[in-house]
Structure 1
Amino acid sequence: MLLLGGYFGYAYLSREKPIPVSVKAADVGTVEAMVANTRAGSVKARRRAMLAPAVGGRIATLSVQKGDEVEAGQLLISLWNKDLEAELDHARKQAAVADATAREACLMADHAGRQAERQTELWKKRSTSESSYEEAVAEAAAGRAACLAAEAQRAVGRARIDVASAMVERTIILAPFAGIVAEVNGEVGEFVTPSPPGIPTLPVVDLINMDSLYVAAPIDEIDAAQIRPGMETRITLDAFPQRVFLGKTRSISPYVLEQAKQARTVEIEVDFLAPMEDVNLLVGYSADVEIILEARSQVVRIPSESLLRDGHVYIFNPATGRLEYRKTKAGLGNWQFTEILEGVAAGEQVVTTIDREGLAGGVAAAIDRQEDQAAEK
């Protein structure tokens, strides 16, 4: 009896212990091949202007404040320019004098021309002296020359108006497009200067058009070659974690961006497909994009985490309580799902905890219910 009891005790203690594993059933659904940005992208405005006057001067008029909505062509700021306005007025008056002088000279030229024609007819009939004839012809020619000179002087006067007007315009900032004033750096009476070449300074007015927002995101150089304009894209924003926005790739940068201690990336631009009327979308929001390269629906798929590097999977057989090491043929895949062309049928349970020690074909296994419930949560 003691020997028999010892035998059964040894058999009980040395029995095979099943390995606890987590499983998920292969199902039928959609699998997408996609690429995503390597670092966070940003929401940007396609039309954004950092405005500053072309010349330095003291702010005389500040017509907008931060947050104001403006229309294209609206006055934003003007510098003190009374001296330039006076020069413009002077140029206009000089031009008026030149116009009057030109009209007078040309009228006199017409009169002299008619006189020359009459003297020519009389000369042909020998009814006037040669000196009177020659004098009339010379006066007509001089009149035409004076008219041309006066017309040229009129053109000079108009050019002076253009020059003076351009100088005045350099002291005025008008909105180049409709938008929202994001920043105003300056107050009435303060002196502002334009940015020196190559040295960026704060703009006097930062204007943003909120109807032209898009996402700029860096894509690894390895993935960039697969992207084309017009591809469907999913956009997620940290500010709206529960929403996914649809987009479409607009452009791919023609060069690779190199930055120290960072992977080489290519910047892409993605446009939002739908108007963002119900979302307070702001420039500068961090954004992530998923570009859909290819999609297949109604295919057998398994969690990508269950696929081994050699293309095999572990199948749990509930009837025997053992694992099967099975070869598969994979199709499209992403971080979540992989399409299975051969080797796994819908409904079969694949092991997702492939890093468990002792996994092999034919070993006993048991489903870890607690871990599966935690994963579902």
Structure 2
Amino acid sequence: MRKLLIGSSILACLVVLGGWLNRPQPLPVRLLDVERGPVETLVANTRAGTLKSCRRSHLSFNVGGQVAELLIGEGQRVQQGQVLMRLRQDEQQARLQEAEARLEAQRNAREQRCQQAHLDQRDLNRLRHLADRKLVAADRLDQAETKANLAKLMCSASAVLIREADASLQLQRSLLDQATLRAPFAGIVAEINGELGEFVTPSPPGIPTPPAVDLIDDSCLYVEAPIDEVDAARVRPGTAVRISLDAFRGQHFAGRVSRIAPYVRDLEKQARTVDVEVRFDQPPADLALLTGYSADVEILLEQRANALRIPTETLLEGQHVLRYDPSARVLREVTVKTGLSNWRWTEVLGGLDEGTRIVASLDQEGLKDTVAVIPEDAAEPEQ
């Protein structure tokens, strides 16, 4: 009997020792503290936006001709009204001189006719004095009146001919000016399509052709970006925006919504979007911003400067988080009340206190309520 009791005791000890050796080991987990910081509700673009210029003109001639003068180069800065390119103008210059000579001839002819009308009127006045004294025949007086009236009409008609000649001169000047391409605003020359001596033709109606000069006003830039149609109703002109450019990663620029498109864009195989335009509050003076840069915008709908927050990725479905219980060294699933939220941070309105430690990542398998864990910063290093 004594041997039996000793054997049973040994067996029980072995069972207990085996259970202890085979117990589940605590999972090492990475924890973080619930802290305070800024939280924002954002609306972001659904596709990459584009940096654009407020003014960009594709300049072309509306008459055909041979390029006689090319006065600029690509990348050159020009001033408003500066001549960029001229077509051959010798024929048009001759037409202009012809119109100027015709106008001068009409002015001289008018002067002659009006002087003649003045002379005929003076002769008529003298004959009328003589007719009052019965010294001139009536038919002669009638002839003088008719001649004076005709001269007066010819003088008046000369003014009409002068206006006609002047209009013809203005037309020739306009045609000559159309052979000269000027900058409508100050900017930088982006592209030139045409070389000295080449023949250029105007674009036929409805058929786009490359412009003679592509001029960009880079002093005023904005970002055009699409947002989802469901977010458009929450965005207003003047709303603060954070702008980021792929060319300058890690940098953000402040801006504001300047325009919201009055219609929804419906593109095939893409979600319906609304285009918004965003202006820089202060364009960066130390960076060369090029039109066409891809850009992203974050429209700031609401902000909290010092909110209790947790990373959004730590939230389980149903607004739950896994809180670390240091007394039992296990995880506790707790429900939290949330406020503002974005893809990175979520505001906590209740359920957690500042400094409480929660699981930092939910990617690890086996994490659930009451599971035993050990914080990674407390785990013993491997031997």
Q: TM-score, normalised by structure 2?
A: 0.89
Alpha carbons 1:323, 1:360 under 8 Å: kept: yes
**Equivalent residue number for residue 330 of structure 1:** 338
**Equivalent residue number for residue 366 of structure 1:** 374
Q: Which moved more, 1:1-10 or 1:48-57?
A: 1-10
**Equivalent residue number for residue 47 of structure 2:** 39
In structure 1, distance between residues paired with 2:225 and 2:96: 49
Q: How does 1:117-266 map to 2 (within 5 A)?
A: 117=125, 119-120=127-128, 123=131, 128-266=136-274
Secondary structure, counterpart of 2:249 in structure 1:
strand
Secondary structure, counterpart of 1:198 in structure 2:
coil
In structure 2, distance between residues paired with 1:121 and 1:272: 85
Change (3 A) 1:190 1:11: same
Secondary structure, counterpart of 1:298 in structure 2:
strand
Instruction: Report the alpha carbon displacement of residue 18 of structure 1 after superposing the two structures with TM.
Output: 2.9
Instruction: Report the alpha carbon displacement of residue 249 of structure 1 after superposing the two structures with TM.
Output: 1.2
Q: TM-score, normalised by structure 1?
A: 0.91
Change (3 A) 1:300 1:101: same
Structure 1, unaligned runs of 5 or more:
372-377
Q: How does 1:80-119 map to 2 (within 5 A)?
A: 80-117=88-125, 119=127
1:350 and 2:339 matched: no
Change (3 A) 1:123 1:319: farther
Q: Which moved more, 1:216-225 or 1:117-126?
A: 117-126
- 1:314-345 Cα shifts (integer Å, max 9, x gaps): 21222322222222221111111111122222
Instruction: Report the alpha carbon displacement of residue 5 of structure 1 after superposing the two structures with TM.
Output: 2.7
In structure 2, distance between residues paired with 1:370 and 1:38: 42
Pairs aligned (count): 371
Change (3 A) 1:135 1:309: farther
In structure 2, distance between residues paired with 1:124 and 1:316: 131
Of residues 295, 300, 314 in structure 2, which corresponds to 1:292?
300
Change (3 A) 1:87 1:15: same
**Match of 1:228, as an amino acid?**
R
Change (3 A) 1:357 1:105: same
In structure 2, distance between residues paired with 1:173 and 1:249: 35
Alpha carbons 1:24, 1:303 under 8 Å: kept: no
Instruction: Report the alpha carbon displacement of residue 121 of structure 1 after superposing the two structures with TM.
Output: 5.6
Change (3 A) 1:125 1:278: farther
What is the Cα-based RMSD across aligned positions, in Å? 2.3
Instruction: Report the alpha carbon displacement of residue 101 of structure 1 after superposing the two structures with TM.
Output: 1.6
Secondary structure, counterpart of 1:35 in structure 2:
strand
Q: How does 1:302-341 map to 2 (within 5 A)?
A: 302-341=310-349
Of residues 73, 76, 84 in structure 1, which corresponds to 2:81?
73
**Match of 1:203, as an amino acid?**
P
**Match of 1:298, as an amino acid?**
N
In structure 2, distance between residues paired with 1:50 and 1:59: 17
- 1:223-242 Cα shifts (integer Å, max 9, x gaps): 22221111111111111113
Instruction: Report the alpha carbon displacement of residue 252 of structure 1 after superposing the two structures with TM.
Output: 1.3
Secondary structure, counterpart of 1:166 in structure 2:
helix
Q: Which moved more, 1:7-16 or 1:178-187?
A: 7-16
In structure 1, distance between residues paired with 2:265 and 2:142: 81
In structure 2, distance between residues paired with 1:18 and 1:116: 131
Instruction: Report the alpha carbon displacement of residue 296 of structure 1 after superposing the two structures with TM.
Output: 1.6
Change (3 A) 1:4 1:72: same
Instruction: Report the alpha carbon displacement of residue 126 of structure 1 after superposing the two structures with TM.
Output: 5.3
In structure 2, distance between residues paired with 1:90 and 1:26: 88
**Equivalent residue number for residue 283 of structure 2:** 275
In structure 2, distance between residues paired with 1:154 and 1:216: 54
Instruction: Give the share of equivalent positions with the same residue, in percent.
Output: 41
In structure 2, distance between residues paired with 1:370 and 1:218: 47
In structure 2, distance between residues paired with 1:53 and 1:116: 58
Please identify the structure whose Cα radius of gyration is greater: 2
In structure 2, distance between residues paired with 1:265 and 1:308: 30
- 1:104-146 Cα shifts (integer Å, max 9, x gaps): 3233334444544555565556565433443343333223311
Secondary structure, counterpart of 2:369 in structure 1:
coil
